[in-house]
Amino acid sequence: MPKKFIVANWKMHKTVREALAFLDEFIPITKGLNGREIGIAPTFICIESVGKVLINTSIKLCAQNAFYENKGAYTGEVSPAMLKDCGVEYVIIGHSERRKYFYENDDIINKKIHACIKEGLKVIFCIGETLEDRQNNKTMEILKTQIRNGLLEINSPEALTIAYEPVWAIGTGVVATEEQIKQSHLFIRNQLKEIYGERANEVRILYGGSVTPENIKSIMAIDNVEGVLVGGASLDPLKFAKIVKY
């Protein structure tokens, strides 16, 4: 059984000073926690300072994005090689906010996954349907397309984690029902099996969308849920500590 994986996605929150203050509180209360893996994805500007603190802990340094080239004239971008150099282990790719606000499509996402894996980084690949997709009964079709296109010619399931994040559940306080999570995770597992065979079982599938200290226990108990990606509730050290210690 792989360890449950609980990842904080800080999005565009926290200055360096605020990030360090969070760690000052969070690390002592979660020290010695066994049997689960914790990740924190700060903004790029905090990555180095956060990484220097995390190096003395078992918490994994994660990034929220990466570009698909390692260097060049790409104003404003950060490369997988640069992240690797800062001690990053996991990179979140294809988050719905990247898809929505920065027009990332499946092709760009696939290139980013290739580039990260080539650099020896592990990828947390996000997929999920919009409310409209769900209302039109297109959830499974959308998930299938995102998986097939995003993982095109990706042959390293050991480097992959999938985050199932229904777009309508992100930051809304509306969490998907146990049945919806169960169905989608099983569907994702079966899609992965079609691509990777038995190696699909090496891939952890996380749920994301309005995870809180109150609902974490029931979410973690659902079949094929091997962890969570947490936005809003990961910003407060006490709240996030409650989640990782569920």
Question: Among residues 89, 104, 165, 226, which one is catalytic?
Answer: 165
CB atoms within 10 A of CB 156: 16
- Centroid of chain to Cα 164: 9
CB of 13 to ligand PGA, least distance (A): 10
**φ, ψ for residue 55 (rounded to 5)?**
-60, -25
Whether residue 205 contacts residue 188, with contact meaning beta carbons closer than 8 Å, is answered with yes
Distance CA 66, CA 195 (A): 25
Note if 198 is an active site residue.
no
Place of tokens 């080239």: 69
Instruction: Return the range that interacts with ligand PGA (CB under 6 A); candidates 23-31, 102-110, 151-159, 164-172.
Output: 164-172
- x/- contact string, 106-145, with ligand PGA (CB under 6 A)? ----------------------------------------
Q: Smaller CB distance to ligand PGA: residue 44 or 193?
A: 44
Q: Smaller CB distance to ligand PGA: residue 40 or 211?
A: 211
Q: Which amino acid is residue 90, in one-letter code?
A: Y
Residue nearest to ligand PGA (CB): 231
Q: Rule CB under 6 A: say whether 209 interacts with ligand PGA.
A: yes
Distance CA 208, CA 202 (A): 19
Place of tokens 């996000």: 126
Q: Smaller CB distance to ligand PGA: residue 39 or 232?
A: 232
CB of 230 to ligand PGA, least distance (A): 5
Q: DSSP string spanning 166-195?
A: -GGGTTSS-PPPHHHHHHHHHHHHHHHHHH
Among 88, 230, 243, 244, indicate the residue that binds ligand PGA (CB under 6 A): 230
Question: Among residues 95, 97, 104, 129, which one is catalytic?
Answer: 95
CB of 150 to ligand PGA, least distance (A): 16
User: Residue 162 corresponds to which tokens in the numbers above?
Assistant: 């999938």
- List residues binding ligand PGA (CB under 6 A): 9, 165, 170-171, 208-211, 229-233
Which residue numbers are catalytic? 95, 165
